[in-house]
């Protein structure tokens, strides 16, 4: 598969990290053993990968954007990064038996979002976890966007490489269940309840 640049310019955290990062790192600490092995599925510029590494974990990052991986390797040379697509089998490149996988604000950019769950199931040991974040959609938020006439801006139609999938809690849980992941926890982040900017969802990799 041909990998295309995303448009990364630096390794600064994105705007979404301002309200996602703290609760996300709390979940990492909750669901991963100290010094555990972690895989970042869609590491982008490596900013979140570096924050997880700082917590004392052994973390590996993968992303399909060559420019993101180039920046990550240059800025965080103590972390292994791989340029690879979530649509491909990754175990030969990164190994397996990880304690935890995570993917922060990635799945909404994917043509084939089921493959993210497939990669997590292949790479994480049975009984391990996947922590996923994606923009939240639900009845009240969607209604508010409609009333305010904000759907055109929200759908990011003019953003090359932008959001192409939009998930509610129910739809993301259903998709994960198809691939055999067990729902564990939901957390809305950013803004008031039911109008959340994003959601953090935790899934367990079921035993065979």
In the chain, domain spans: 17-205
CATH superfamily of 17-205: Vaccinia Virus protein VP39 (3.40.50.150)
Alpha-helical segments (H) within the chain: 17-31, 47-54, 66-75, 91-94, 114-123, 139-147, 151-154, 169-178
Q: Is 112 exposed, middle or buried (0-12, 13-18, 19+ CB in 10 A)?
A: exposed
- In the predicted model, is pLDDT for residue 3 greater than 70? yes
Per the DSSP assignment, residues forming a β-bridge with 182 are 204
- In the predicted model, is pLDDT for residue 13 greater than 80? no
For residue 157, the model assigns a pLDDT of 81
- In the predicted model, is pLDDT for residue 159 greater than 90? no
Kindly report, residue by residue over 82-97, the tens digit of the pLDDT: 999 999 999 999 999 9
Q: pTM to 2 decimals?
A: 0.93
Tokens of 23: 């609760």
- In the predicted model, is pLDDT for residue 47 greater than 80? yes
Question: Is residue 152 very low, low, confident or very high in pLDDT (cuts 50, 70, 90)?
Answer: confident
For residue 56, the model assigns a pLDDT of 96
What is the mean predicted confidence (pLDDT) over 141-148?
Answer: 92
For residue 82, the model assigns a pLDDT of 97
- In the predicted model, is pLDDT for residue 1 greater than 70? no
Kindly report, residue by residue over 97-112, the tens digit of the pLDDT: 999 999 999 999 999 9
- In the predicted model, is pLDDT for residue 123 greater than 70? yes
Task: Return the minimum-mean-pLDDT range out of 99-108, 159-168, 198-207.
Answer: 159-168
Choose between 156 and 23: higher pLDDT.
23
Question: Is residue 2 very low, low, confident or very high in pLDDT (cuts 50, 70, 90)?
Answer: low
Q: In Å, how far are 4, 23, 39, 158 from 98, measured between CA atoms?
A: 27, 21, 7, 37
For residue 130, the model assigns a pLDDT of 98
- In the predicted model, is pLDDT for residue 176 greater than 80? yes
């Amino acid at each position: 598969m041909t990998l295309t640049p995303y448009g990364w310019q630096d390794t600064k955290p994105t705007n979404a990290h301002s309200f996602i990062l703290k609760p996300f790192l709390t979940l990492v600490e909750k669901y991963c053993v100290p010094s555990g092995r972690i895989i970042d599925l869609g590491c982008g510029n490596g900013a979140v990968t570096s924050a997880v590494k700082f917590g004392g974990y052994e973390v590996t990052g993968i992303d399909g954007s060559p420019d993101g991986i180039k920046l990550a390797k240059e800025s965080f040379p103590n972390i292994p990064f791989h340029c690879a697509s979530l649509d491909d089998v990754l175990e030969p490149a990164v190994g397996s038996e990880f304690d935890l996988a995570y993917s922060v604000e990635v799945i909404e950019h994917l043509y084939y979002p089921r493959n993210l769950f497939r990669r997590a199931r292949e790479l994480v040991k049975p009984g391990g976890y996947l922590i996923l974040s994606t923009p939240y959609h639900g009845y009240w938020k969607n209604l508010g966007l409609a009333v305010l006439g904000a759907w055109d801006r929200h759908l990011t139609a003019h953003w090359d490489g932008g959001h192409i999938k939009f998930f509610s809690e129910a739809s993301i849980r259903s998709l994960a269940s198809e691939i055999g992941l067990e729902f564990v926890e939901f957390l809305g982040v950013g803004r008031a309840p039911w109008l959340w900017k994003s959601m953090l969802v935790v899934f367990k990799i079921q035993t065979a």
